[in-house]
Amino acid sequence: MYLEFNIEHSILVPVITEVMVSLLLVLGGYFYGKYRERQKEKGKNLDEYDFYPFEVDNNNFPQFSIKDFRLAVHYFLKNKDYTAARQLIFIGEQNHVRNHLESAELKQYEKLYHTYHGSKIEYDNNEFLENYKRIVHLLGLTFKNMGIEILLHNLMNPARSIMEIENGEVTGRKIGMGTTTLVLDLKKRKELKEDKLNYELNIGSRRFKCTTIPIYRENYGLIGAICINIDINYINEGVLKTKDRLHEFFKNYCATEMALDENILSKDEFEKAKNGKKHWREH
């Protein structure tokens, strides 16, 4: 019996040891692979390169530059930068770049596309911004018919940046339209640690109060922005000048679509509300 135990023990120990070593090697390989993957994805944003494929026209609107795009393709095939190359592919796909490239150039682009897993790029970014689309949609409906526009820019593609807009009649813009030099301006303000909050825009006879909220994503940098634009002339001349228009504005302001039974007040404010306090400035 003792001899049998020793034989089994002598066989079992090296087997267990071998299994443990194999598991450690597999785990080590897994974590090393993850580390290599993270290292691989480090890089600069595309707009930090001289061949950023957009140029501003005479009206201060960005236009896709096929010349700079070609330069970027050749560069990233020779010099690995997963962040900038993926941004380049995203912009290329949105601007139907395959229709602008000659046969030899198209082969080079296809090589770049597969090297940097292009099929996942647009899907991943749109999925990332999907929840922001819902935020913009619901906020816009909250301020309907009040001269307050709320929109979402997808800044991976400045020429067709607007991917969601509510109350677009305020500026006349629609989904699929582009932005001006918003990318460069937001990057400059980030360096200066300035928020783009409550700023005034005067365009011809139009006047707006605006706030722009940048959206950043790891390994991509600035990819989007939520903008709030308030038509100041409408407020001053279309609302405040007559009692009827003022009444209509605040009727829209206070309009609701449902009533729920839930509490959003602090404990102290809840007690005061039950005792008759009607609004936040009432003591």
Span 36-57, pLDDT tens digits: 555 455 688 888 899 999 887 7
C-alpha to C-alpha distance for 205 and 137, rounded to whole angstroms:
28
- Residue 165 near residue 152, CB atoms below 8 Å: yes
- Mean pLDDT, to the nearest integer, of 148-161? 90
Phi then psi for residue 47, to 5 deg, are -70, 0
| Span 63-80, pLDDT tens digits | 889 999 999 999 999 999
| Span 187-219, pLDDT tens digits | 778 878 889 999 999 999 999 999 999 999 877
What residues have CB less than 8 Å from 116, skipping those under 6 apart? Answer: 76, 82, 85, 86, 89
Q: For residue 142, which of 275, 250, 253 has the smallest C-alpha distance?
A: 253
Q: What's the confidence (pLDDT) of residue 226?
A: 96
Percent of the chain with pLDDT over 90: 54
C-alpha to C-alpha distance for 67 and 54, rounded to whole angstroms:
10
Q: Is 234 helix (H, G, I), strand (E, B) or coil?
A: helix
C-alpha to C-alpha distance for 263 and 236, rounded to whole angstroms:
35
Q: What's the confidence (pLDDT) of residue 3?
A: 47
Phi then psi for residue 166, to 5 deg, are -120, 140
- Residue 92 near residue 112, CB atoms below 8 Å: no
Q: Is 206 helix (H, G, I), strand (E, B) or coil?
A: strand
